[in-house]
Amino acid sequence: MTDSALARWERRTAGVLAAASLLFLASYAVLVLGPGLPGAVRDLCLAVTCAAWALFAADYVVRRRLSGQRWPRFVRTHWLDTLVLLLPLLRPVRIVQAYERVKRRHGRPRFALHARVMLYAGVSTLLLGFAASLAVYQQERGAPGATIQTFGDSVWWACTTVSSVGYGDMAPVTPVGRLVAVGLMGCGLALLGAVVGSFSSWLLQVFAREDENGERPPGSSPGAFDGKG
Amino acid sequence: MTDSALARWERRTAGVLAAASLLFLASYAVLVLGPGLPGAVRDLCLAVTCAAWALFAADYVVRRRLSGQRWPRFVRTHWLDTLVLLLPLLRPVRIVQAYERVKRRHGRPRFALHARVMLYAGVSTLLLGFAASLAVYQQERGAPGATIQTFGDSVWWACTTVSSVGYGDMAPVTPVGRLVAVGLMGCGLALLGAVVGSFSSWLLQVFAREDENGERPPGSSPGAFDGKG
Amino acid sequence: MTDSALARWERRTAGVLAAASLLFLASYAVLVLGPGLPGAVRDLCLAVTCAAWALFAADYVVRRRLSGQRWPRFVRTHWLDTLVLLLPLLRPVRIVQAYERVKRRHGRPRFALHARVMLYAGVSTLLLGFAASLAVYQQERGAPGATIQTFGDSVWWACTTVSSVGYGDMAPVTPVGRLVAVGLMGCGLALLGAVVGSFSSWLLQVFAREDENGERPPGSSPGAFDGKG
Amino acid sequence: MTDSALARWERRTAGVLAAASLLFLASYAVLVLGPGLPGAVRDLCLAVTCAAWALFAADYVVRRRLSGQRWPRFVRTHWLDTLVLLLPLLRPVRIVQAYERVKRRHGRPRFALHARVMLYAGVSTLLLGFAASLAVYQQERGAPGATIQTFGDSVWWACTTVSSVGYGDMAPVTPVGRLVAVGLMGCGLALLGAVVGSFSSWLLQVFAREDENGERPPGSSPGAFDGKG
């Protein structure tokens, strides 16, 4: 019963929270990237950022009440939610989930599991990379001896990090920037795991099907290389 | 019926398009690598490049008509074709596919799936690496502060990038060069996925066969390490 | 019989040895990081370090006797124990194992295999990364031309190494520091193997379950992306 | 019949060729690393190097005759042998294979497939890394602007490359050195594939066994983390 109330709450608020998290990311980006903007615009962005965060906090409190759990237990069992509350830049990742849920409710056919894993991994990496670029740029901008000078540098650095190439022509030098970088490295490892894991399990599925049929079903595996979507 | 017309068209044009894409790559390479060539040669190469691209565009238009789909839907469902039309340097990847198709039509035995995946991955990586080297070299050649000075440097940089080693002794500094680099990093991730996925699924197949037989079939698994082809 | 005596010994000493290994790491850290501490504190830390090591050596000797094996054979069959005895910084890795054993004895439910593999990999990486940072910092501190100057640099270097990003803004220059680095690179490879292996086998399990049920069991796979613990 | 004659030849010559390949590596190492040795020692090493190579060539010719194939076909079907003949530094990799064969003939129990794959991958990586270090050191020694100055530098560079960390504090600058580096990067990718593939297939086997038994067999999976050999 409580679980169902919680589920209903989550279903109803998913759209609002997704919009709020995009607004949060956008207004934070404007704050970081536009230091020369007129004061009114900056104040508006700051207000939007704070309002979005207040919304997240309210949602967190309501969910705790609906779950019927005490605070210490709720914080422990919902540790990822707690983390996302403290680092709201991670929140847009949940949009993929909300989108998926909307699609399912409307009864539309879902992607295959491989495609879904790749979609999650791709969108999460894009959003986290963008958020990390913003955070690192904000930290490094004024730091002495920093190699990351512009936002373009920061995006380039994020790409080399998340693909685990790591040229090293640019690297954060501030403690907070490096903390963000370590998080992004972990994200890169997870992305690699998703790419490789999807690929090898897809191969194994094709093998299993081949073994069953004796012959490869025509057009099933080449289709994956075909580029006809 | 329309699908069959489309399939017939694709079968007939595969050879011509493969030749055109190789010509495109070759003439583009001459244009990029030979700035000191006589004007007539350069004009010829430019003409070949443009003619090949026109051929690709014509093929795209004809395929749209044969598919019986409207433009917006066709662009969406054939997004990879659209991308390849806009970035024709990626086109040679389709040669592997055409070669495979010719071989199948002639009834020759096909490679095992592992070998095919590795072949696709290897040839695609070679062609994409070469195309990326050309594109990055063209961008970086005159750029101030560029570390990639010669085409040899560019090829070396592409190798370090696609293997995700990333020494960083050379790295693109222009925005377009960096965009190409990000694409190549993604290609490196996919290559890694193909190598690892093939390997782990091959291992699992061998395990499954061992479990069935109780004993390992003599000469089956060592053969893979044997170097006798 | 001898095996059971050995097992009883290991069960009884697990807690003490785990505590000793943490003490060893802590006192070694104080010795390395606090060169300006008063002599008495440093002497105490040195004493703790040596006592912990003596404890490990005694445990090794007792285990040899209980196993009933001769020295050469024992050293060969317990080569990992021998290595850990010679490089006691690696010892904290065994804490995960001890913790697991305690939990099992108390009949508490164990984690799923995926979670356990990730837990082992994560904790081992953390401990080994910390130990490697300490060892490299101690080696590089005074070396001419060293890029790793502070302990923070050393931790940052360890993170870039273990994730195989390798910016190269910092790298050890002393022979011993480089030896430690090579060990950490191997650890990074193993971590990657654990992440990717867990992921791909988890995917394959989900596929197998889907195939059995015809339909995906509701809430089983999205739960993994759900962030609700 | 011819195949059996070939097999007999390979069985008989395996030991001699393995010894010759180690001698080749050792004498080549002395030639590269000891430029200040007396002339007589260097002449001896050169003679050993050439004699070993002559042995490899003779073996190649005899194998062609015993196989009963014509030259073009033999070169194509034994392309890996041909490559190893042209790049004899790669030859020691075959020692693992010879060792395995000897062990099998003596009826000793073989390693599990996982362990064998890791053993192959580990020994091959060690030998190829050593050979690449030698070759790169020889190329880079006198090159202007080279960052790899000593053999120690070369070994350190090989380690960072094969683990795909790639700090970039040292990198080859000569064309031949870079060619060797690209080969080593490919080797690193293959090593990664072996590590990850073994790990994920081992995990999947454990899962399958758990599913069959309902319960995890006591001491089977923790043993892998146990460090008791």
Residue D73: which pLDDT band, with cuts at 50, 70 and 90? Answer: confident
Q: What is the pLDDT of residue B219?
A: 37
CA proximity to D77, closest of D139, D8, D3, D152: D3
CA dihedral of B7, B11, B17, B19, whole degrees rounded to 10: 170
A11: left (phi over 0), alpha (psi -120 to 50) or beta: alpha
Residues with Cβ within 8 Å of A66's Cβ and at least 6 positions away in sequence, in order, are A2, A5, A6, A9
Compute the mean pLDDT over every residue in chain D, rounded to the nearest whole number: 79
Q: Give the integer Cα–Cα distance in Å for A157 and A172.
A: 9
In chain C, the largest separation of any two C-alpha atoms, in whole Å, equals: 71
Residues with Cβ within 8 Å of C115's Cβ and at least 6 positions away in sequence, in order, are none
pLDDT over 70 (residue A110): no
Is D203 in contact with C201 (CB distance < 8 Å)?
yes
pLDDT over 60 (residue D205): yes
Q: What is the pLDDT of residue C216?
A: 40
Please compute the mean of the pLDDT values over residues B24-50 and round it to a whole number: 87
Residue C136: which pLDDT band, with cuts at 50, 70 and 90? Answer: very high
Q: Give the integer Cα–Cα distance in Å for D156 and D162.
A: 10
Give the number of other CB atoms < 10 A from CB of residue C119.
14
D167 CB within 8 Å of a chain A CB: yes
DSSP 8-state symbol, D167: -
Those chains having 3 or more beta-carbon pairs within 8 angstroms of chain A are B, C, D
- For C36, the token pair is 């300006």
Please compute the mean of the pLDDT values over residues C79-84 and round it to a whole number: 77
CA proximity to C68, closest of C139, C9, C130, C138: C9
Q: What is the pLDDT of residue C83?
A: 77
Residue C227: which pLDDT band, with cuts at 50, 70 and 90? Answer: very low
A196 CB within 8 Å of a chain D CB: yes
Please compute the mean of the pLDDT values over residues D137-156 and round it to a whole number: 91
Q: Give the integer Cα–Cα distance in Å for D165 and B167.
A: 8
pLDDT over 50 (residue C221): no
Q: Give the integer Cα–Cα distance in Å for D74 and D61.
A: 10
Please compute the mean of the pLDDT values over residues A189-205 and round it to a whole number: 80
A208 CB within 8 Å of a chain D CB: no
Structure confidence by residue, pLDDT tens digits, C41-56: 888 999 998 999 899 8
Structure confidence by residue, pLDDT tens digits, B214-223: 544 333 333 3
B168 CB within 8 Å of a chain D CB: yes
> What percent of chain B clears pLDDT 70, i.e. is strictly above it?
78
C contact test, residue of B200, B204, B205 with most C CBs within 10 A: B200
Is B180 in contact with B136 (CB distance < 8 Å)?
yes
Q: How far is B169 from chain A (nearest CA, A)?
A: 8
- For A95, the token pair is 């949009």
A59-63, C70-74, C132-136, D106-110: range with lowest mean pLDDT: D106-110
B127 CB within 8 Å of a chain A CB: no
> What percent of chain D clears pLDDT 90, i.e. is strictly above it?
19
Compute the mean pLDDT over every residue in chain A, rounded to the nearest whole number: 79
Which CATH code is given to the segment(s) C111-224?
A: 1.10.287.70
Residues of D in contact with A166 (CB under 8 A): 165-166
Burial of A43 (0-12, 13-18, 19+ CB in 10 A): exposed
Task: Quote the Cα angle for D44-D50-D54, to 5°.
Answer: 140
A contact test, residue of B74, B113, B140, B209 with most A CBs within 10 A: B113
Between D224 and B99, whose confidence is greater?
Answer: B99
Compute the mean pLDDT over every residue in chain C, rounded to the nearest whole number: 79
Is B21 in contact with B28 (CB distance < 8 Å)?
no
Is B55 in contact with B21 (CB distance < 8 Å)?
no
Tokens 């596919």 belong to which residue? B97
pLDDT over 90 (residue A158): yes
Q: What is the pLDDT of residue B224?
A: 35
Between D22 and A227, whose confidence is greater?
Answer: D22
B202 CB within 8 Å of a chain D CB: yes
Please compute the mean of the pLDDT values over residues D153-167 and round it to a whole number: 92
Encode chain B in three state secondary structure: CHHHHHHHHHHHHHHHHHHHHHHHHHHHHHHHHCCCCCHHHHHHHHHHHHHHHHHHHHHHHHHHHHHCCCHHHHHHHCHHHHHHHHCHHHCCHHHHHHHHHHHHHCCCCCCCHHHHHHHHHHHHHHHHHHHHHHHHHHHHCCCCCCCCCCHHHHHHHHHHHHCCCCCCCCCCCCHHHHHHHHHHHHHHHHHHHHHHHHHHHHHHHHHHHHHHHCCCCCCCCHHHHHCCC
Q: What is the pLDDT of residue D227?
A: 35
Across the interface, whether the CB atoms of B80 and A228 are under 8 A apart is answered yes
C contact test, residue of A125, A174, A182, A204 with most C CBs within 10 A: A182
State which residue of chain D sits closest to C124, comparing Cα positions: D225
> What percent of chain A clears pLDDT 70, i.e. is strictly above it?
78
What residue spans of A2-150 are helical by DSSP H?
2-33, 39-67, 71-77, 79-86, 93-105, 113-140
CA neighbours within 13 Å on the CB side: how many for A224?
18
> What percent of chain A clears pLDDT 90, i.e. is strictly above it?
18
Burial of A141 (0-12, 13-18, 19+ CB in 10 A): middle
Q: Give the integer Cα–Cα distance in Å for D46 and C4.
A: 59
Q: Give the integer Cα–Cα distance in Å for B67 and D98.
A: 58
CA proximity to B203, closest of A159, D169, C223, C197: C197
Please compute the mean of the pLDDT values over residues C174-182 and round it to a whole number: 93
Instruction: Out of C81, C189, C204, name the one closest to residue D192 (CB).
Output: C189
Distances (CA, A) of C25 to B93, B211, C80, C148: 53, 44, 19, 21
Residues of A in contact with D164 (CB under 8 A): 164
In chain B, the largest separation of any two C-alpha atoms, in whole Å, equals: 71
Q: Give the integer Cα–Cα distance in Å for B164 and B182.
A: 11
Q: What residue ranges do the domains of chain C occupy?
A: 1-89, 111-224
CA proximity to A183, closest of A121, A122, A135, A118: A135
Looking at domain D111-216, which CATH architecture does it have?
Orthogonal Bundle (1.10)
C contact test, residue of A113, A163, A174 with most C CBs within 10 A: A113
Q: Give the integer Cα–Cα distance in Å for D167 and B169.
A: 9
Is D225 in contact with C79 (CB distance < 8 Å)?
no
What residue spans of chain D are helical by DSSP H?
2-33, 39-67, 71-77, 79-86, 93-105, 113-140, 151-162, 175-213
Instruction: Out of D169, D196, D198, name the one closest to residue C192 (CB).
Output: D196
Ranked by mean pLDDT, the top range of A23-27, B109-113, D8-12 is: A23-27
Is D158 in contact with D183 (CB distance < 8 Å)?
no
Residue B225: which pLDDT band, with cuts at 50, 70 and 90? Answer: very low
Distances (CA, A) of B61 to A105, B57, B78, C144: 37, 6, 12, 66
State which residue of chain B sits closest to C204, comparing Cα positions: B201
Structure confidence by residue, pLDDT tens digits, C58-69: 988 898 888 888
Ranked by mean pLDDT, the top range of B163-172, B212-221, C110-119 is: B163-172
End-to-end Cα separation, chain A, in angstroms: 43
pLDDT over 70 (residue C229): no
CA proximity to C149, closest of A75, D110, D32, A145: A145
Is B52 in contact with B20 (CB distance < 8 Å)?
yes
Please compute the mean of the pLDDT values over residues A103-125 and round it to a whole number: 70
Please compute the mean of the pLDDT values over residues A170-196 and round it to a whole number: 89
pLDDT over 90 (residue B155): yes
State which residue of chain B sits closest to C200, comparing Cα positions: B197
| Sequence letter at residue A193 | G
Residue D226: which pLDDT band, with cuts at 50, 70 and 90? Answer: very low
Please compute the mean of the pLDDT values over residues D12-35 and round it to a whole number: 84
Q: What is the pLDDT of residue D159?
A: 94
Q: How far is A51 from chain C (nearest CA, A)?
A: 23
Instruction: Out of D77, D96, D171, name the one closest to residue B229 (CB).
Output: D77
pLDDT over 90 (residue D66): no
Q: Give the integer Cα–Cα distance in Å for A203 and A200.
A: 5
Across the interface, whether the CB atoms of D169 and C168 are under 8 A apart is answered yes
Structure confidence by residue, pLDDT tens digits, A61-100: 888 888 888 888 888 777 777 877 877 766 766 666 666 6
Ranked by mean pLDDT, the top range of B126-135, C83-92, C109-118 is: B126-135
Q: What is the pLDDT of residue B173?
A: 92
Between B156 and B109, whose confidence is greater?
Answer: B156
Q: What is the pLDDT of residue B177?
A: 92
pLDDT over 90 (residue C191): no
Which CATH code is given to the segment(s) B111-229?
A: 1.10.287.70
Residues with Cβ within 8 Å of B117's Cβ and at least 6 positions away in sequence, in order, are A203, B194, B197, B198
Structure confidence by residue, pLDDT tens digits, D90-130: 676 666 666 666 666 665 555 566 777 777 788 888 888 99
ipTM higher than threshold 0.90: no
CA proximity to A151, closest of A30, A54, A48: A30
pLDDT over 50 (residue B114): yes
Q: Give the integer Cα–Cα distance in Å for C14 and C97.
A: 9
User: CA C70 from chain center: how many Å?
Assistant: 28
Residues of A in contact with B178 (CB under 8 A): 156, 159
pLDDT over 70 (residue A104): no
Q: What is the pLDDT of residue D161?
A: 93
Tokens 């008495």 belong to which residue? C40
Between C194 and D172, whose confidence is greater?
Answer: D172
Q: What is the pLDDT of residue A6?
A: 80
Q: What is the pLDDT of residue B112?
A: 66
Q: How many CB pairs lie under 8 A apart between chains A and D? A: 11
A50-59, B199-208, B220-229: range with lowest mean pLDDT: B220-229
pLDDT over 70 (residue B2): no
Is C200 in contact with D198 (CB distance < 8 Å)?
no
B145 CB within 8 Å of a chain D CB: no
Q: What is the pLDDT of residue B217?
A: 37
A147-156, B126-135, B166-175, D97-106: range with lowest mean pLDDT: D97-106
pLDDT over 80 (residue A58): yes
Q: Give the integer Cα–Cα distance in Å for A147 and A139.
A: 12
